[in-house]
Amino acid sequence: MRRLVLAALLAWAPLPGARADQVAVPLGDAEAGAEIFRQCRACHHVGEGAQNRIGPHLNGLFGRPAAGLPDFDYSDSMERAGADGLVWDLEHLHAYIENPRSLVSQTRMVFPGIADATQRSDFLAFLRRYSDDPANIPEAAPTALAVEIVLPPEVLGLEGDAEYGAYLAAECLTCHQADGGNDGIPSITGWPDEDFVVAMHAYRQKLRPHPLMQMMAARLSDEEIAALAAYFGDL
Amino acid sequence: MTLNRRRFLGTSAVAVTLGAPMLKAQATPRVVVVGGGAGGATAARQIAQDSEGAIDVTLIEPSRTYYTCFFSNLYIGGFRDMNSIAHDYATLAAEYGINVVHDWATGVDRDAKVVALAGGASVPYDRLILSPGIDFVEGSVPGWDLSAQTRMPHAYKAGTQTALLKAQVEAMPQGGTFVMVAPPNPYRCPPGPYERVSMVAHVLKATNPTAKIIIADPKPGFSKQALFEEGWQKHYSGMIERIGPDFGGENTSVNAADMSVGIDGEVIRADAVNVIPAQKAGLICAAAGLTDGDWAPVVPATMQSRMDENIHILGDATQQGDMPKSGFSANSQAKVAAMAIRGALTGSRVFPARFSNTCWSLIDTNDGVKVGATYEATEEKIAKVAGFVSDTGEAPELRAATYEESIGWYAGITADMFG
Ligand SMILES: Cc1cc2nc3c(=O)[nH]c(=O)nc-3n(C[C@H](O)[C@H](O)[C@H](O)COP(=O)(O)OP(=O)(O)OC[C@H]3O[C@@H](n4cnc5c(N)ncnc54)[C@H](O)[C@@H]3O)c2cc1C
């Protein structure tokens, strides 16, 4: 099953037409997804006032544990999946919609699945509208996919670009103080470049445990880490 | 940076120069920033620092002292004193050469590109930044308006309101009742009301352990709910009751004269009442014709108003997509706007916009939690791409470290805003 989930992950990666000033793309085309949802409406309702029907209502689906609605009578198989810790995030919804029985063997949902990854993405973009908004509940599921940032060639090159580093560093300086002060949050100024680079790669690879720093490092390219090291090294 | 004319003039004499003809007015582009809070102070400082004199920066802010809303709940809980959340603009004026004008902006003539001030002056700009924070939606809590704010404080703009609420909590009779009327979405600082309840409970547990806290809440759920509810159970068992919309929490009215709160028809007499009304963009946004409904829509990649490309809007006032209204978000957006403005006015390099936010909350002594995310610009909105949140059941050491981290963050962001 793990392989199947991975395959699904790769399948929704195409992301055409990303622009330089646009570094994320929507989960899919929600309007197209609304059309796909028509075939589900006999059993599932979503939107204001939606109630359970033959299937559970789909409001607040993202982030909901499997079999998570107290007043719906789920299959034993679904109950078990929930007890095992299955949570409906984007990855697992993709896998389930692709082939419901891959994830929940005896599910009562009589639906063959959607083979086409783009269609699934559109469908899930539509459903995502009816779950928590991160503006109100910051821990709510993402609403977009990150795109590898494509930078002009002069920005690239592993010799750290300190000017680019200065811009990237602005993000670090919300917490880490420019003057090297360290109450509660460590100082990151004046390190040897190499130590800085190694530490950031360790966060990016999730070898160092801090979840906030893992998140920040996750979207830094090799060049960007080099740029930051160059900037903070000279501070 | 050289010691220039502005440093000599300091903050008070600047208003005089505004009326006079501007020297080199053609040569040096002018950025005017309205609001010296999390968004505005950051943007003013970033632009002044990075442009090294190539841009003339004016900051318009009525207050001489800015009290951060962040950590104002910790003041209520007794973890910080009022001085420690107070900041002034002296360094921005003296060391960054920013013209700090203590006045209200009353309107914007977008065709002439001039901001009108209450004191009568008008300030021309090439680019304008608005970061005025929030104002309250009138009538959102029946029975409450600004004239009731001394009896039933909102404490959602920090300073005297916060001090008043703390005093009222401390003056409650033994076994008394504290009621919070929580706001509907969207509002500044999603976990803020619930951190506040934690801090009020912390005070009451020590001094008034039989007191009760009632939250009337129009929202079905709230940020870090599982973490707060776990913490309330652990530290303040039996003290806090939340009445959500299924039990009429969205149908709440107040009467400041007899200190009562009506929740779905049932009237509760209270000893302290914290009313946090529904919110909208700071009034100057609507006055400038930049709002759509309650908020000011912006272009994600630059934070430009969707209605005027010469105006950038930051922070709580904006409608931008997925970022919560927080000081961290406003600070992050300010950096993107500062880069875009410098690029437009001086041709400096522009990089793809990136945003982030983390909100720490304190539940009880050394019991800190956090939620954070990274965001990127799509054409349509600022969109969340990744995030994390503290887990329930974390070890006390980790919670203590998280609290320590929040202290570091506070020192970092306030240095980043005020120099
Ligand atoms: C209780 C509480 C706790 C919070 N905790 C946190 C936290 O832990 N972390 C976090 O990140 N955020 C927190 N916040 C949220 C944070 O305070 C706000 O999101 C942030 O201050 C928004 O920045 P801003 O620049 O939009 O507005 P503000 O910081 O409010 O600044 C607006 C400024 O504009 C000025 N102004 C308004 N109108 C005019 C005008 N017409 N002319 C001139 N000046 C004007 C005001 O005087 C004010 O100084 C908290 C908020 C509250 C209420």
pLDDT tens, residue by residue, B106-154: 999 999 999 999 999 999 999 999 999 999 999 999 999 999 999 999 9
Please state whether the predicted TM-score (pTM) of the whole model is above 0.80.
yes
CA of B41 to the centre of ligand 1 (A): 11
Percent of chain A topping pLDDT 90? 64
Contacts of B322 in chain A (CB under 8 A): 133-135, 143-144
Q: What is the pLDDT of residue A158?
A: 63
Q: What is the pLDDT of residue A42?
A: 94
SS3 letters across chain B: CCCCHHHHHCCCCHHHHHHCCCCCCCCCCEEEEECCCHHHHHHHHHHHHHHCCCCEEEEECCCCEEECCCCHHHHHHCCCCHHHHEEECHHHHHHHCCEEECCCEEEEECCCCEEEECCCCEEECCEEEECCCEEECCCCCCCCCHHHCCCCCCCCCCCHHHHHHHHHHHCCCCCCEEEEECCCCCCECCCHHHHHHHHHHHHHHHHCCCCEEEEECCCCCCCCHHHHHHHHHHHCCCCEEEECHHHCCCCEEEECCCCEEEECCEEEECCEEEECCCEEECHHHHHCCCCECCEEEEECCCCEECCCCCEEECHHHEECECCCECHHHHHHHHHHHHHHHHHHHHCCCCCCCEEEEEEEEEEECCEEEEEEEEEEECCCCEEEEEEEECCCCCCHHHHHHHHHHHHHHHHHHHHHHHC
Q: Which of residues 368-397 of B touch A (CB under 8 A)?
A: 370-381, 383-389
Number of the ligand 1 atom closest to the C-alpha atom of B314: 26
Q: What is the pLDDT of residue A208?
A: 87
Q: Residue A161 and residue A234: Cα distance in Å, rounded?
A: 12
Atom 45 of ligand 1 has which residue's CA nearest to it? Answer: B35
The matching CATH number, chosen from 3.40.190.10, 3.50.50.60, 1.20.81.30, 3.40.50.2300, for B146-277 is 3.50.50.60
Q: Residue B132 and residue A202: Cα distance in Å, rounded?
A: 40
**Is the beta carbon of B38 within 6 A of some atom in ligand 1?**
yes
- What average pLDDT does range B162-168 have in this prediction? 98
Q: pLDDT tens digits for B207-230? A: 999 999 999 999 999 999 999 999
User: Which residues, other chains included, contact A92 with Cβ-Cβ below 8 Å and sequence gap of 6+?
Assistant: A5, A86, A103
Q: pLDDT tens digits for A24-70? A: 889 999 999 999 999 999 999 999 999 999 999 999 999 999 999 99
Half-sphere exposure of A91 (CA within 13 A, CB side): 11
**Is the beta carbon of B236 within 6 A of some atom in ligand 1?**
no
- Name the DSSP class of A207: -
CA of B153 to the centre of ligand 1 (A): 17
pLDDT band, residue B1 (cuts 50/70/90): very low
Is the CB of A146 less than 8 angstroms away from the CB of B385?
A: yes
**Is the beta carbon of B104 within 6 A of some atom in ligand 1?**
yes
**∠ CA B407-B413-B419, rounded to 5°:** 120
Is the CB of A212 less than 8 angstroms away from the CB of B373?
A: no
Q: What is the pLDDT of residue A160?
A: 81
Q: What is the pLDDT of residue A91?
A: 93
Q: Are B38 and B384 spatial neighbours (Cβ–Cβ below 8 Å)?
A: no
Q: At what angle do helices A162-172 and A222-234 cross, to 10 degrees?
A: 90
Q: pLDDT tens digits for B341-390? A: 999 999 999 988 999 999 999 999 999 999 999 999 998 999 999 999 99
Is the CB of B351 less than 8 angstroms away from the CB of A164?
A: yes
Q: What is the pLDDT of residue A150?
A: 55
Say whether pLDDT at B294 is over 80: yes
Domain boundaries, chain A: 2-146, 153-234
Domain boundaries, chain B: 11-135+280-350, 146-277
Phi–psi pair at B245, nearest 5 degrees: -65, -25
pLDDT band, residue B156 (cuts 50/70/90): very high
Q: How many angstroms separate the CA of residue B17 from the nearest CA in chain A?
A: 32
**Is the beta carbon of B282 within 6 A of some atom in ligand 1?**
yes
* Identity of the amino acid at B196: R
**A21, A31, A64: best mutation site toward chain B, by most B Cβ within 10 Å?**
A21
* Identity of the amino acid at B267: V
Is the CB of A174 less than 8 angstroms away from the CB of B331?
A: yes
Q: How many angstroms separate the CA of residue B118 from the nearest CA in chain A?
A: 33
Is the CB of A26 less than 8 angstroms away from the CB of B353?
A: no
Q: Which residue of A has its CA nearest to B186?
A: A136
**Is the beta carbon of B325 within 6 A of some atom in ligand 1?**
yes
Regions of chain A with pLDDT less than 50 = 1-21, 155-156
Q: How many angstroms separate the CA of residue B103 from the nearest CA in chain A?
A: 27
Q: pLDDT tens digits for B376-401? A: 999 899 999 999 999 999 999 999 99
Q: What is the pLDDT of residue B186?
A: 98
- Name the DSSP class of A21: T
pLDDT band, residue B27 (cuts 50/70/90): confident
Average pLDDT across chain B, whole number: 94
Is the CB of B223 less than 8 angstroms away from the CB of A135?
A: no
Q: Which of residues 147-176 of B touch A (CB under 8 A)?
A: none
Question: What CATH number does the domain located at B11-135+280-350 have?
Answer: 3.50.50.60
- What average pLDDT does range B40-53 have in this prediction? 96
CATH architecture of A153-234: Orthogonal Bundle (1.10)
Q: pLDDT tens digits for B2-25? A: 333 333 333 333 433 444 444 444
Q: How many angstroms separate the CA of residue B321 from the nearest CA in chain A?
A: 7
Q: What is the pLDDT of residue B11?
A: 39
CA of A121 to the centre of ligand 1 (A): 37
pLDDT band, residue B26 (cuts 50/70/90): low
Q: What is the pLDDT of residue A146?
A: 81
* Identity of the amino acid at B252: T
Q: How many angstroms separate the CA of residue A110 from the nearest CA in chain B?
A: 31
Q: pLDDT tens digits for A120-136? A: 999 999 999 999 999 99
* Identity of the amino acid at B3: L
**A212, A223, A232, A235: best mutation site toward chain B, by most B Cβ within 10 Å?**
A212
Question: What CATH number does the domain located at A2-146 have?
Answer: 1.10.760.10
Q: What is the pLDDT of residue A152?
A: 53
Atom 4 of ligand 1 has which residue's CA nearest to it? Answer: B70
Contacts of B407 in chain A (CB under 8 A): 183-184
